[in-house]
Amino acid sequence: MSTQSSRIQILPKTLINQIAAGEVIVRPASVAKELIENSIDAGATQISLEVSENVRDIVITDDGCGMTPEEAPLSLQRHATSKISTLEDLIEVKTRGFRGEALASIAAVSRLNLVTRTPDSLSGFRLDVEGGEILKSQPTGAPIGTSISVRDIFFNTPARLKFMRLPSTELKRLLQVVTQQALSHPEIGFTVLSQKRKLLELPAHQSLEDRLRQILGSSLEGMLLPIEPGNLPVTIHGFVAKPEASRKDRSGQFFFVNRRPISNRLLTVTFEQAFKGVLMTGRYPVCAIFVFLEPDELDVNVHPTKEEVRFQDERKVGGILHRVISETLRKANLIPYSRLPETPGESAGEKKTAIPASGGFFSTPQRAIHEQFRKKKDAFSHRQTDLGFYEKTKPDITDEIPPRHKFSMPQPQPDVSSLEKESPPVFPQSSEDLRETISQAEPMGQIAGVYIIARCGDGLLLIDQHAAHERILYNRITSRKTKPDVQNLLLPITFEIEASRIPEMQEIMDDLLSFGIELERFGGQSFVIHTLPADLADMDAVALVKDILDAREDMGKDRDAVEARDEIAKRMACHGAIRAGQRLSSEEMTSLIKELSSAALAFTCPHGRPTMILMSKSQLDKQFKRIV
Ligand code: ADP
Ligand code: MG
């Protein structure tokens, strides 16, 4: 028995690292993410990536603080980190990495060279590693900073390799990772090169707004609304784009907690809820939202790569996010100005952003910064914010942040030339003034029985009469505090429904009653309507009830009670509103415009479609080529 060797054995180090890699390094994009985070933690001001055609080779170069010849081999060991040493540190951790296993994991599944040099040393140091084993280490000439070349990713883990998708898919994921990191640090320059082509080139020292625009494209011109954080217990910064800039998927949504890119269902859902009623279903709003919390208010360790966070107080974070976003949208001028095609060459094309050449990485001022990094090696976590890269241009906003949350996000610096093109100066920019101008618009008639045409200041106002009335009615229905005045029907309306819908019908009767529609089962499949809200007594109540039943079917079983009531309100507004094709008197048009101009969320109907379109005189002039 004693001759037999134990069946329990310690696994070889390489295997341990490969197993650990399985958790964090699942695809080339994860390699990029970990390496970029390390470069950011190293205080880099410029990070460049080069990716091979098959996306299995990645070279990353940074101008950060580098490593000494003693530190370099240590960095490849598991649980080797310069970022935490106590449990308290773990709770307080402000840097990107902290598990101390990313480099070890990457090295375990690739062939890796690391070249690094600190600002203090005269030469650099090079390590050649294969499958986690250091094959060679020697001094070498090198610029200050770190360059890590990872080749043949997953060469020794065939199972992982099999799970790699098409190179184009892997490259896309890698670019998503770079984009997220680049948005969280607009002061750092980023480039991504593949097959000699520059896929991404983001200059250093950008404002968040400029970076967002460059990343998401010229369609965001004039579309970004800065979030005003206010003086709330959770600080939220960033930008949301106007509803018109929405997308058909969530690819334009970026969330960060304490500057770490994360995904969190609560944030996504709450953010989208704030757009309810200003966005059509199936459209997704665009944003870059930065939430700041005390480290003890969240747990970032739930996910090995820290992409998910858990909040101590979900309701607080969600509530404040909702409030801040709704407020931003409410204050913004959400009226859709007309977007007629412009003359070629006028500005319709992509706005080319001048990108400075990325030479001069190691110029004197930057070297001074590295010197500073080295001195701060102990206080690693403070490197980024102490450098003063983020110039405050709007102290009034940042000053509202309680001191514990002080950080200095670059404030928006509007590109005047492009903004002016978007927002015609003829119409007032403030929401209140604009509403005032609209309230005085003079209706001139209807077009096709659908649109009201009106003179509005020096411009033209077009209104969708049905959508506009829907908005007014919806606001009235949902803002009632008590049951509305009802009209008893002299001739109660009787109707039948399919037997299968009877249970559903019985479920909605209480809700309908609270909205002023009293229904009674008449026996068999028959129901009778006794009352209607006094102000909506003309609507086709039977069509409404059937429509509500259909809507409930579409919503499925997991609808919530609030949503279901909201749906009833929307349907009532729709059935009660002026139809397309209905002729309106001048007085009716005037009062519709007046009521609309003072309605909350006046610029969209409850389904998110526009209620009106404004065209300024300057836009008309442009169309008629009166000005160049
Ligand atoms: P962690 O980031 O969790 O500390 P890693 O395995 O990613 O663990 O990195 C280990 C250590 O190697 C880091 O703590 C850091 O000291 C050093 N390091 C890694 N990448 C760089 C870099 N680009 N520049 C300077 N130091 C680095
Ligand atoms: Mg790391």
pLDDT digits (tens, 9 = 90+) for 536-587: 988 899 999 999 998 888 777 667 788 889 999 999 999 999 998 999 999 9
What does the pLDDT look like over 279-337, one tens digit per residue? 887 889 999 999 999 888 887 665 666 677 788 898 899 999 999 998 898 887 676 66
Residue nearest to atom 23 of ligand 1 (CA): 39
Q: Which of 418, 453, 481 is the last residue of a domain?
A: 418
Statement to judge: residues 546 and 446 lie in one domain: yes
Contact 482, 518 (CB under 8 A): no
Which residue among 17, 33, 37, 41 is best mutated to probe the pocket of ligand 1, counting the most ligand atoms within 8 A of its Cβ? 41
Residues 106 and 18 in one domain: yes
pLDDT at site 256: 94
Q: Is residue 439 part of a domain?
A: yes
Which numbered ligand comes closest to the C-alpha of 125? 1
- Domain at 147, CATH number: 3.30.565.10
Specify the residue with its C-alpha closest to ligand 1, atom 21: 38
Rounded CA gap, 272 and 284, in Å?
A: 7
- Is the beta carbon of 83 within 6 A of some atom in ligand 1? yes
Atom of ligand 1 nearest to the CA of 39: 23
The stretch 273-280 carries a mean pLDDT of: 85
Do 501 and 409 belong together in one domain?
no
Residues 335 and 254 in one domain: yes
Q: Which ligand is nearest to the CA of 79?
A: 1
Q: Span 385-396, mean pLDDT?
A: 29
CA of 456 to the centre of ligand 2 (A): 58
What is d(CA 628, CA 595) in angstroms, rounded to the nearest whole number?
A: 37
List the CATH number of the domain containing 463.
3.30.1540.20
Confidence of residue 409 (pLDDT cuts 50, 70, 90): very low
Q: Is the CB of 98 under 6 A from ligand 1?
A: yes
612: three-class secondary structure by DSSP: strand
75 lines ligand 1 (CB under 6 A): yes
Residues 437 and 413 reside in one and the same domain = no
Q: What mean pLDDT value characterizes the chain?
A: 81
Together in a domain, 262 and 371: yes
Among the bound ligands, the one closest to the CA of 103: 1
Assign residue 389 the CATH number of its domain: 3.30.230.10
Cβ(144)–Cβ(367) under 8 Å? yes
Pocket of ligand 1 contains residue 64 by CB under 6 Å: yes
Check: CB of residue 455 under 8 Å from CB of residue 444: yes
Domain stops at, among 133, 164, 195: 164
Q: Which amino acid is at 420?
A: E
| Burial track 319-341 (b if 16+ CB lie within 10 A, e otherwise) | ebbebbbbebbeebbbbbbeeee
For residue 465 and ligand 1, the question of a CB distance below 6 A is answered with: no
Residue that wins the pLDDT comparison between 520 and 20:
520
97 Cα to the center of ligand 1, angstroms: 7
Q: Would you say 605 and 596 are in contact if contact means Cβ atoms under 8 Å apart? A: no
pLDDT of 621 above 80? yes
Instruction: Kindly state if the Cβ of 62 falls inside 6 Å of ligand 1.
Output: yes
Angle at 41 between CA 39 and CA 43, to 5 degrees: 75
The helix (H) or strand (E) run that includes residue 556 is none
pLDDT digits (tens, 9 = 90+) for 514-542: 999 999 998 889 999 999 999 998 889 99
Q: CB count, 10 Å around CB of 233?
A: 14
Q: How far is the CA of 42 from the centre of ligand 1 (A)?
A: 8
Reduced to 3 states, what is the DSSP secondary structure of residue 563? helix
Using the atom order of ligand 1, give the atom closest to the CA of residue 99: 3
Model confidence at 622, in pLDDT bands (50, 70, 90)? confident
Identify whether 187 is part of a domain.
Answer: no
Ligand 1 neighbourhood includes 80 CB (under 6 angstroms) = yes
Amino acid at residue number 109: V
In this structure, are 126 and 154 located in the same domain?
yes
User: Who's near 132: CB < 8 A, 6+ residues apart?
Assistant: 13, 14, 17, 18, 76, 104, 107, 108
Q: Would residue 176 count as lying in a domain?
A: no
- Distance of CA 520 from the midpoint of ligand 2 (Å): 66
- Does 39 contact ligand 1 (Cβ within 6 A)? yes
Of the spans 45-49, 87-91, 263-267, 612-616, which averages the highest pLDDT?
45-49
Please provide residue 337's backbone torsions phi and psi, each rounded to the nearest 5 degrees: -75, 155
Does residue 240 share a domain with residue 227? yes
How distant, in Å, are the alpha carbons of 298, 305, 309, 310, 311 from that of 302? 10, 9, 7, 7, 11
Residue 196 in any domain: the answer is no
Asked whether 547 lines ligand 1 (CB < 6 A), one says: no
Q: Which of 23, 33, 36, 38 to mutate to test the pocket of ligand 1 (most atoms within 8 A of CB)?
A: 38
Indicate if ligand 1 lies below 6 Å from the C-beta of 65. yes
Strand partners, 291: 236, 257
Residue 264 lies in a domain: yes
Q: Is the CB of 101 under 6 A from ligand 1?
A: yes
Listed residues 418, 440, 469: the one ending a domain: 418
Query: Of all atoms in ligand 1, which is nearest to the CA of residue 103?
Result: 6
505 lines ligand 1 (CB under 6 A): no
Q: Are residues 310 and 459 in the same domain?
A: no
Residue 570: inside a domain: yes
Ligand of minimum distance to the alpha carbon of 381: 1
Nearest-CA residue for ligand 1 atom 12 is 75
Contact 200, 191 (CB under 8 A): yes
Write out the residue range of the structural domain in which residue 394 sits. Answer: 204-418
Q: Note the pLDDT of residue 351.
A: 35
Q: Is the CB of 125 under 6 A from ligand 1?
A: no
User: Would you say residue 185 lies in a domain?
Assistant: no
Q: pTM higher than 0.85 for the full model?
A: no
* Contact yes or no for 274/253 (Cβ under 8 A): no
Structure confidence at residue 147 (pLDDT): 98
Give the model's confidence band at 513: pLDDT under 50 very low, under 70 low, under 90 confident, else very high. Answer: very high
- HSE (CB half, 13 Å, CA atoms) of 516? 23
Question: Does residue 455 fall inside a structural domain?
Answer: yes
Same-domain check for residues 271 and 338: yes
Residue having the nearest C-alpha atom to atom 20 of ligand 1: 38
Which residue's alpha carbon is at the smallest distance from atom 1 of ligand 1? 100
Outline where DSSP puts E strands in 405-507: 442-447, 451-456, 459-464, 486-496
- What is the reported pLDDT for 383? 33
pLDDT (tens digit per residue) in 133-191 = 999 999 999 999 999 999 999 999 888 899 899 999 999 999 999 999 999 999 999 99
Number of domains forming the structure of the chain: 3
pLDDT at 52 over 90: yes
Same-domain check for residues 257 and 376 = yes
Quick one: which of 479, 475, 486 has its CA closest to 512? 486
103 lines ligand 1 (CB under 6 A): yes
- Ligand 1, residue 101: give the atom nearest the CA: 6
| One domain for residues 115 and 18 | yes
Task: Please tell me the distance from the alpha carbon of residue 588 to that of residue 445, in angstroms, as a whole number.
Answer: 11
The average pLDDT across 229-242 equals: 90
User: Which atom of ligand 1 is nearest the CA belonging to 60?
Assistant: 23
